[in-house]
Structure 1
């Protein structure tokens, strides 16, 4: 994962993957950080792997962490909630999945250490994200899509209010952070809901989108220099 790097700007060279459905944005982000061989294997066996992992079409951040471990990608998953926030029951986005997913998600958190899945409780600052992008690799981020305002998309398509049109107050959506520009106070990312393009967002707007209630401030740091496995 090469790309432009200096003290004030980083832009990682990462192949874009567009999601196939409304529910697989996180899986598309996973594919972007896999080797081409693993990506092809995952794509060909997508539905089988989803069933084997137990989440089918309902993907949580802990599921993404397990997938990264499955494919031998070194990672660190940070969240403010180890498990499921009971308050999510009031959010329409979670209402239809909590009853069937809550226990499964709790079990995955509880068993993470036994499976080599790295999970830590805590909030991540924007400086933490920038430091990781500069030194280590990309970052998978859970956002509220309603607050995900891309500067480039807004200029090209002013009729769009966000990178993923949706209804308020919350719509969970994963993106892959690939760089930043400190002079412009911009973060660069790939949005799996679109075809190949690099989106940008101001630091302040990104913080709003990633710290919105419903995200648990979930951040998955990817360590690009880790040894890649061919497991599946």
Structure 2
């Protein structure tokens, strides 16, 4: 009995030593082989500000590439030209661009293709007729392009479990419901999505989910429409409201780790926005 207690004590002490040296909590294996659920974890994702009103998705892709140590220099040029989408960028477009850079990913959505009901939403109306056939074709060809598309929703815990494995996610949200707590609590931090909310009932916007604090019920994300020097933060229920809003199709792109890019994703502080 004492020997078993000593082993358990040693495993806990080892985990604490590792945490104290790195300054962050890392996944360890419990005695039964299961993974510990971390209270706090953040993946270092450099901030990239969008240049226009329509390029939040491209900025998010640029953030992911920089986090992986890849150059985003062609995202706004060759990559955008290859998609032939103009200024109307859908989640599937982002998945294709990431695959052009050989980034492994999983794309989750509750709608395979274009949801015809979105044609009634002001946000989609101006480009809907032109986009419908193009986007549907991209979905049809996704498998042969190496894009794993799964028709289902992800719970917040599933998302956080991915982040805990240093896998950030590009998430489509309704910007009208995105209220950054960091921006709201400090006059020195100006986050345009907090100060000038989109006036439409639905305003699609992409952000990069990159961390969480379970003890405070918070998730951390990079917002390309934010001037915050640090990552933005929001309560999990509020984040779910924004990503489950009608119009998002609950789209999520999970960036998967592999030997080629795992080293580029590491825990770091909450600052360093550029």
TM-score by length of 1: 0.90
What displacement does 1:128 show?
0.4
Tell me which residue corresponds to 2:53. 22
* Long gaps (5+) in structure 2: 1-21, 27-37, 262-274
**2:25 corresponds to:** 5
| Contact 1:190 1:199 survives alignment (8 Å) | yes
Q: Is residue 2:102 matched to residue 1:72?
A: yes
Give the C-alpha shift of residue 18 in structure 1. Answer: 0.8
Q: Matched residue pairs, number? A: 225
2:86 — aligned with what?
56
**Larger strand proportion, structure 1 or 2?**
1
SS where residue 71 of structure 2 aligns? helix
Who is 1:115 aligned against?
145
Asked if the contact 2:110/2:249 (under 8 Å) is kept, the reply is yes
Q: CA 1:37/1:155 → structure 2, altered by over 3 Å: closer, same or farther?
A: closer
Residue 135 of structure 1: how far off its partner (Å):
1.4
Which SS does the other structure have where 1:5 is aligned?
A: coil
Local SS of the residue matching 1:215: coil
Q: Following TM superposition, by how much is the alpha carbon of 1:163 offset from its aligned partner in structure 2, in angstroms?
A: 6.4
Determine the structure 2 residue equivalent to 1:47: 77
Task: Quote the Cα distance in structure 2 between the aligned partners of 1:47 and 1:20.
Answer: 13
Please identify, of 190-199 and 176-185, the stretch whose mean Cα deviation from structure 2 is larger: 190-199
Cα RMSD over matched residues? 2.1
Once the two structures are TM-superposed, the CA of residue 37 in structure 1 deviates from its matched residue by 6.3
User: When the two structures are superposed, what TM-score results if normalisation uses the length of structure 2?
Assistant: 0.77
Instruction: Answer yes or no: is 1:205 the counterpart of 2:225.
Output: no
CA distance in 2, matches of 1:204, 1:103: 34
Moved over 6 A (4+): 158-161
Structure ID, larger Rg: 2
SS at match of 1:97: helix
SS at match of 1:10: strand
Q: Which residue of 1 aligns with 2:126?
A: 96
- Distance in 2, matches of 1:14 and 1:3, equals 17
CA-to-partner distance for each residue in 1:95-119, whole Å, 9 max, x for gaps? Answer: 1111110000000000001111111
Unaligned runs of 5+ in 1: none
CA contact (8 A) 2:193 2:225 kept: no
Instruction: Give distance in 2, aligned partners of 1:134 and 1:143.
Output: 21
